[in-house]
Amino acid sequence: MISLCLAALAVLQVLMAVAAWRTGVAGRLTALLGCALAYDSAVVAAGRLLGEGDALEALSVGRFVVHALGTPLVLPCAVLALRRGRRELAAAWAGAGVLAVVGVATTLPGLELAPRRWADTLRYADVDPGGFPVAAVSAIVLLFLIGLAAWIGGGRPWIALGALAVFVASAAAFAVPPLGNLGEALMLAGLLLTLRAP
């Protein structure tokens, strides 16, 4: 049942990615991020069907790469969605670049995966996560601050609410792992709603 819900979530994320792409140039990066998040959900959804083995493990390595490189993209995605200027966009790209380097350096070297089951799902997880995920948490904190400024300054709450949803879902994901995917989908929805706002 959970695997099926994750598959439906992956489809929803793809549909949101398509909708973001159709908003124009500003939405192209959000569309790319949406596809990356859909990949993550789809791999976990397919785990039960693929079973333990090299195929699922290789696909799961892709999940870690997506998170290390993709999570910092929320910063330029938010700035583009809010139609900010070149200076703000340059700062967002710089921040994303630094966080991507930190994320890769702290996540991928020595990555050792082992199968983990929850309900009817099967995923490969890092045997030794290596402590606090500084890059990912920093990216979401910055996203929240960008969204909060937009909410206070222009009444657009969606980015801040999406970032808040990721925080809550990520905390709950220690006990219920698929909630992390749901939180990411809500974050993507926040970016999309901001893109589509007049």
String of DSSP letters for 88-126: HHHHHHHHHHHHHHHHHHHHSTT--EEEEEETTEEEEEE
pLDDT of residue 18: 98
- What residues have CB less than 8 Å from 132, skipping those under 6 apart? none
For the whole model, what pTM was predicted?
A: 0.94
pLDDT of residue 144: 97
pLDDT of residue 198: 80
pLDDT of residue 133: 85
Distance (Å, rounded) from C-alpha 198 to C-alpha 187?
Answer: 19
Distance (Å, rounded) from C-alpha 74 to C-alpha 54?
Answer: 31
Domain of 183 in residue numbering reads as 2-196
Distance (Å, rounded) from C-alpha 50 to C-alpha 84?
Answer: 44
pLDDT of residue 174: 83
Q: What is each CA distance from 50 to 2, 28, 39, 181, in whole angstroms?
A: 15, 31, 15, 19
Distance (Å, rounded) from C-alpha 120 to C-alpha 136?
Answer: 27
DSSP-based three-state secondary structure for 154: helix
pLDDT less than 70: residues of the chain: 130-131
pLDDT of residue 130: 67
What sign does the dihedral 175-117-128-62 (CA atoms) show? Answer: negative
- Give the tens place of pLDDT for each residue, 145-173: 999 999 999 889 999 999 999 999 988 98
Number of independent structural domains in the chain:
1
